[in-house]
Amino acid sequence: MRRITLALGVAVTLTALCVTMLGTAQSATPKYGKCKPTGKFGSHPLKETVKDDTLVVGYVTIAPRTWKGNTPASVNDGYNYCFAANIAYRAGLSKIELKKVDFAQLVTGRLKGFDIAMDDIYIKPEREAKIDFSIPYGASWTGISGRTDDPLTKDKLKDLKFAVTLGSVQQQWVENVLKANQKPNTYDDTVELFAALLAKQVDAVAIDMPVSLPAAAASGGAVKVFGQVKVGGQVGIVMEQGTPNRKAINAIVKEVNSNGTLHALEKKYYFSSYGGVDPNKLPYWG
């Protein structure tokens, strides 16, 4: 009888030890590359995800300030990545998986297989009819970039050959508002726009300021943002239409905006990348 009691005691002790160790492992803070999330882990759980314990995040293009890395698997830093890390952390998910998405298909609701997508995507009524947006987390206008060896001026805008992202608000502006004399070249990847500019295939690039200013700063003086137009607006996180996660995502966006998390990320990843240019001081061309 004593041996049975002793054996049961050992078993109970080992079980308790295993439970304690498992609880400790589960409560350890997940690692999301170089990001350090704020808030409380699991404070805003999502109702469903594409993969267990993973936030699958759609992105349009890899860039040093937003998704820092050479491949989706190697990205471990950047404004968008650390923003996603804050979402995953609050959602109680320990991993992030990036998935490249086609911008034009994304904003028309033709893509699936992601939990959220984010890449400075403007909230527009025609898009809201086909996809779900979070509440806005920021806003941005459009920079007009050109080569420094062929300076741009406001009075020659209509005559320029533009490069724009396919399906973007900039494409709509060039074609329907500016009514440029030449049809713009459209691209799926923002890197291609500036490559076309440097190759003299186009005269100017029209794209969001957080993309245009860093690209100019990294060009070694070959590219400059000469002006800006009030094309753009508020940006939000994209989700599939009818997602049950919208309420939780909105709560997270509201929290990281109000507690200064997003402002700190903006200061860390964007301000130093603008090459000393204050976007608010660039001339408005429309």
Residue 169: exposure state from Cβ atoms within 10 A (0-12, 13-18, ≥19):
buried
pLDDT of residue 206: 98
Parts of the chain with a pLDDT under 70: 1-28
Q: What is the predicted pLDDT for the residue at 14?
A: 42
Say whether 42 sits in a helix, a strand or coil: coil
The residue ranges of every structural domain in the chain are 54-139+234-274, 141-233
CATH superfamily of this structure's domain 54-139+234-274: Periplasmic binding protein-like II (3.40.190.10)
Say how far apart CA 97 and CA 103 lie, in whole Å: 18
Q: How far is CA 285 from the centre of its chain?
A: 27
What phi and psi, each to the nearest 5 degrees, are found at residue 15? Answer: -65, -45
pLDDT of residue 24: 40
Do domains 54-139+234-274 and 141-233 share one topology? The answer is: yes
**pLDDT at residue 280, as a whole number:** 80
Name the residue type at position 9.
Answer: G
- Specify the CATH architecture of the domain 141-233: 3-Layer(aba) Sandwich (3.40)
Q: What is the C-alpha to C-alpha distance for residues 72 and 97, in angstroms, rounded to an integer?
A: 8
The CA–CA distances, whole Å, from 165 to 92, 202, 244 equal: 34, 13, 30
DSSP 143-189: EEEEETTS---GGGGGG--EEEETT-HHHHIIIIII--SSPPEEESS
